[in-house]
């Protein structure tokens, strides 16, 4: 067994941070050396998450109190837009895996347009790799800044990309992704609409027509099939459950292809991937199937209109959609088995 990677988690107090820590604690190649949580600096991590009472963990500290010279890997679980200021101060020797949206967009103008301000760390952004592991593995292995994908993009891109690359979808007929997420995707922030009594026994759409995960999906889809983004529609919804994400994706197949061909493409693409399962014909993926795991389950269905196909994909938004995929990227980056530490289930939230 090689030297362990000395690892810091920035933004440990949120759900993705805590979930990540849960995974890292049973990863044989990781040593947690620092946790940051600016507002909670000085507190024990178990004050925030008594869940970890059986473990020894570093006291939380402010970011600038961490000695990054003694850190090999930094997982950034900081809020969107605040991450870039931190990342540009980190030493080049650190491998950074960023779970925020800050480094996902390659185009600075697109970033500015969707986020309302100019990007503050353009040199780093230029080197960042979009860490959808199954599709960008080679690049992930060579970068020191991995932009971990958003949860919605992960659930939508995993089934769509192989089909787009294979050219079997009639893009001009439109692609609609209607996505539904558990509440943990919104983090642990104090907002009235996240109160238990507001969410429970209710179902709602949000960000209708303009959700921020859109440009990220369009960017990656364009790489697979130029021109697709202007036919792509996406609406996110909030499901009264802690975790889980399901995307229902409506596409039209080209006239010269078939559902069977589409199935073949997806089965072949993911045949050797440990974290993507194409389910048997007729089995509908359900978020409970992947609860707490780093798995993406998917299936395709014949729609009743001619050439219509419906894709259903599920992930756990906190794991494959955030902390689990981050660890998968870590494993890929350092050459460990990608499954290392990921047989475990998350469950902090």
- Residues 184-213 within binding reach of its own copies (CB under 8 A): 184, 188, 190-192, 194-206, 208-210
Between vectors from CA 57 to CA 56 and to CA 59, what angle results, nearest 5°? 130
Rule CB under 8 A: which of 309-338 touch its own copies?
A: 310, 312
Query: Which of 39, 142, 255, 304: binder of its own copies (CB under 8 A)?
Result: 304
Does 15 help bind its own copies (rule: CB under 8 A)?
yes
Q: What six digits make up the tokens of 345? A: 């289930």
Distance CA 40, CA 42 (A): 6
Q: What six digits make up the tokens of 14? A: 């949120």
Distance CA 145, CA 325 (A): 14
Does 343 help bind its own copies (rule: CB under 8 A)?
yes
Under 8 Å between Cβ of 216 and 136: no
Facing residues of 130 across strands? 147
Distance CA 71, CA 31 (A): 10
Does 173 help bind its own copies (rule: CB under 8 A)?
yes
Under 8 Å between Cβ of 4 and 29: yes
Query: Which of 1, 2, 3, 50: binder of its own copies (CB under 8 A)?
Result: 50
Listed ranges 1-9, 22-30, 78-86, 115-123: which one lies at the site for its own copies (CB under 8 A): 22-30
Nearer to its own copies among residue 13 and residue 143 (C-beta): 13
**Minimum gap (Å) between residue 39 Cβ and its own copies:** 12
Q: What is the DSSP string of 123-137?
A: HHHHH-EE--HHHHH
- Annotate each residue in 233-272 with x if it binds its own copies (CB under 8 A) or - if it does not, as one string: x-x-x-xxxxxx-x-x-x----------------------
Listed ranges 20-28, 68-76, 120-128, 323-331: which one lies at the site for its own copies (CB under 8 A): 20-28
Nearer to its own copies among residue 87 and residue 175 (C-beta): 175
Task: Assign 115 to helix, strand or coil.
Answer: helix
**Minimum gap (Å) between residue 238 Cβ and its own copies:** 9
Query: Which of 154, 257, 295, 325: binder of its own copies (CB under 8 A)?
Result: 295
Under 8 Å between Cβ of 66 and 91: no
Distance CA 84, CA 143 (A): 17
Listed ranges 30-38, 128-136, 219-227, 304-312: which one lies at the site for its own copies (CB under 8 A): 304-312
Catalytic residue among 76, 77, 94, 151: 151
Between vectors from CA 22 to CA 21 and to CA 24, what angle results, nearest 5°? 60
Q: Confirm whether 77 is a catalytic residue.
A: no
Name the residues annotated as catalytic: 151
């Amino acid at each position: 067994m090689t030297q362990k990677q000395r690892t810091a988690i920035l933004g440990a107090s949120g759900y993705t941070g805590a979930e990540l820590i849960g995974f890292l604690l049973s990863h044989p190649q990781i040593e947690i050396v620092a946790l940051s949580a600016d507002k909670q600096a000085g507190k024990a991590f178990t004050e925030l998450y008594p869940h970890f009472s059986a473990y020894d963990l570093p006291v939380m500290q402010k970011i600038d109190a961490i000695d990054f010279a003694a850190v090999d890997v930094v997982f950034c679980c900081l809020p969107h837009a605040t991450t870039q200021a931190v990342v540009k101060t980190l030493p080049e020797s650190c491998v950074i895996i960023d779970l925020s949206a800050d480094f996902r967009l390659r185009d600075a103008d697109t970033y500015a347009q969707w986020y309302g301000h100019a990007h503050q760390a353009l040199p780093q952004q230029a080197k960042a790799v979009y860490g959808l592991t199954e599709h960008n593995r080679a690049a992930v292995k060579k970068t020191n800044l991995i932009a971990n994908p958003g949860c919605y993009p992960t659930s939508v891109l995993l089934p769509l990309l192989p089909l787009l690359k294979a050219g079997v979808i009639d893009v001009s007929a439109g692609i609609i992704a209607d996505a539904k997420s558990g509440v943990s995707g919104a983090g642990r922030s104090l907002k009235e609409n996240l109160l238990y009594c507001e969410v429970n026994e209710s179902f709602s759409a949000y960000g209708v027509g303009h959700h921020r995960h859109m440009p990220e999906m369009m960017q990656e889809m364009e790489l697979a099939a130029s021109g697709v983004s202007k036919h792509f529609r996406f609406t996110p919804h909030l499901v009264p459950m802690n975790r889980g994400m399901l995307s229902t994706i409506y596409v039209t197949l080209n006239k010269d292809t078939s559902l069977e061909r589409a199935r073949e493409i997806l089965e072949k693409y993911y045949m050797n991937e440990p974290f993507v399962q194409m389910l048997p014909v007729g089995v509908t993926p359900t978020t409970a199937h992947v609860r707490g795991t780093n798995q993406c389950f998917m299936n395709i269905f014949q729609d009743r209109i001619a050439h219509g196909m419906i894709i259903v994909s599920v992930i756990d938004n906190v794991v494959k959609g955030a902390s689990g995929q981050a660890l998968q990227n870590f494993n890929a980056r350092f050459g460990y088995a990608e499954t290392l530490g990921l047989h475990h289930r998350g469950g902090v939230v």
